[in-house]
Amino acid sequence: MSTLRETLVDLLRTVRDRPDEIVLDIGAGGELLVARIRVVATLLLMLMPLINLLSGGGVVESIDGFVGTGLGLALAWVWLALAKRKRRYRWLSFATSASDVTMETLVLVLIATQSPAASVNTLIVWSCYPLSIFMTALRNDGRVTLFAGLLTIVEYSLLVTWVFAQAGPHEVLSSPDYGPVSLSNQIQRLVLLLVATLLTAVVVYRIQRLVMLSGTDTLTGLPNRSFLVHRVPQMIEQARKNDVSITLAIIDLDYFKRINDDHGHPVGDRALRHVVEVLRNELGREEPLMRVGGEEFVLLLQRSMGPAWERMETLRKRVAATPFLLDEEAVGVPVREHKLTFSAGLASCPVDAVDVPGLMRRADKRLSKAKQGGRNRVVARE
């Protein structure tokens, strides 16, 4: 079991770093959901100054509420229009979160111009702060949560500092409707905002962990078939828009069943991890490798067929030249080596096919030809 320190370090790394593409794809849907909720919520919030006015509340305070919610509604429609676009803006979640937080601060500032004490003692408007923080969990991006939480704490701290600066050294800030202002109460509110940020960050962490576990092969740590199904089509579509060739390779380890039969599945698992480690040491960030079957992998190369074949040949030779140790290393025990090789079939977009199923079919046919031709080879043509 991991220690508390390891858990906290893992949590910090998860919410600080940019999520993987599958998580971001899910978060893009969350951004659209937030945008729709924002429009409905803002329409409902417009009822609050009306209720305040009809129930005998201050006219100026009600007008400030109408101004703030009206401006918020206009921005909400803008954010909804951007969230509906197929193009995903990386800055959108940060911009909308900042907008949500700053609009609430603006309403409090408008109230403060009439009654400084009311601006920091009103609970209803202040409660929108933690709601804005909680909504960032739908984006599945811990960076957005931390950004929104810290921005909220900074803006509210500045507002409280400004309000207390308006009072004289011996003057007690008070409002007929909300009572006296307490510094202790304001500090407690800041602590609650910090707690809301931390809780939301933990929720994001849990979401990312669940997505990672569902989209990652537990044995090798590689993306699994869900990456092939959900992310690769988008990569192919983007390559087509940019008029860039992309090649898909199906890799299958040669005679792998013999290792399991002769030496057992634990040795077979180590053999798989060995091949993955060799390939990972050679592959770059823009060359995603996925495990899609027992000993079958898919590699995506942003190259045309010729350069892709040369790249695969380099990888094939590297794996063949790096022997696998059948036995765990031990003092005084001779270690047996086993040569691992793979066969591969390639298919290029847009020459061979323009979608994942078509590329997989063509690459699989060429993989079969590589197997029939003696294995330990890469085939790019029938």
List Cα–Cα distances, 141 to 87, 203, 210, in angstroms: 18, 10, 14
User: Has residue 287 got a pLDDT over 80?
Assistant: yes
Q: Give the per-residue pLDDT at 333.
A: 46
**CA–CA–CA angle 123, 124, 127 (5° rounding):** 80
Q: Which of 116-130, 269-283, 312-326 has the lowest mean pLDDT?
A: 116-130
Using pLDDT thresholds of 50, 70 and 90, give the confidence band for residue 1: very low
What does 312-352 look like in DSSP terms, one character per residue?
A: HHHHHHHHHTS-EESS---TT-PPPEE---EEEEEEEETTT
Given a cut of 90, whether residue 264 has pLDDT beyond it is no
Domain boundaries, the chain: 4-215, 225-379
Q: Which of 117-121, 176-180, 313-317, 324-328 has the highest mean pLDDT?
A: 313-317
- The predicted structure's pLDDT at residue 365: 94
Q: What is the pLDDT of residues 135-160, one digit of tens each?
A: 888 887 888 899 999 999 999 999 99
CB 366 within 8 A of CB 347: yes
The share of the chain scoring above pLDDT 70, in percent, equals: 86
The DSSP secondary-structure symbol of 224 reads -
CA distance 128 to 133: 9
3-state secondary structure of 255: coil
pLDDT band (50, 70, 90) for residue 112? confident
Residue with tokens 């971001």: 24
Q: Which residue, among 183, 45, 162, has the nearest Cα to 113 in the 3D structure?
A: 162
If you average pLDDT over residues 42-68, what whole number do you get? 75
Rounded distance, CA 220 to CA 294, Å? 11
Neighbours of 149 (CB within 10 A): 26
Q: Within 10 Å of residue 206's Cβ, how many Cβ atoms? A: 13
Torsion angle, alpha carbons of 348, 349, 352, 357, to 10: 100
Find the farthest-apart pair of alpha carbons in the chain and give their distance in angstroms, rounded. Answer: 93
Report the pLDDT value the prediction gives residue 362, as an integer from 0 to 100: 94
Q: What is the fold of 225-379?
A: Alpha-Beta Plaits (3.30.70)
Range from 49-58, 102-111, 352-361 carrying the lowest mean pLDDT: 49-58
d(CA 287, CA 280): 9
Instruction: Decide if pLDDT at 332 tops 60.
Output: no
Please report the pLDDT score of residue 8 as a whole number: 64
Q: How many CA atoms lie within 13 A of 60 on its CB side?
A: 10
Q: What is the DSSP string of 175-223?
A: ETTTEE--HHHHHHHHHHHHHHHHHHHHHHHHHHHHHHHHHB-TTT--B
pLDDT above 80 for 268:
yes
Q: Average pLDDT in the 187-193 region?
A: 95
pLDDT tier for residue 330 given thresholds of 50, 70 and 90: very low
| CB proximity list for 261: less than 8 A, separation 6 or greater | none
Question: With 80 as the cut, is the pLDDT of residue 304 above it?
Answer: yes
Residues of the chain by 3-state class (helix, strand, coil), percent to 5: 65, 10, 25
Compute the mean pLDDT over every residue in the chain, rounded to the nearest whole number: 83
Higher per-residue confidence, 167 vs 13:
167
Confidence (pLDDT) at 32: 79
Residue 87: pLDDT band with limits 50, 70, 90? low
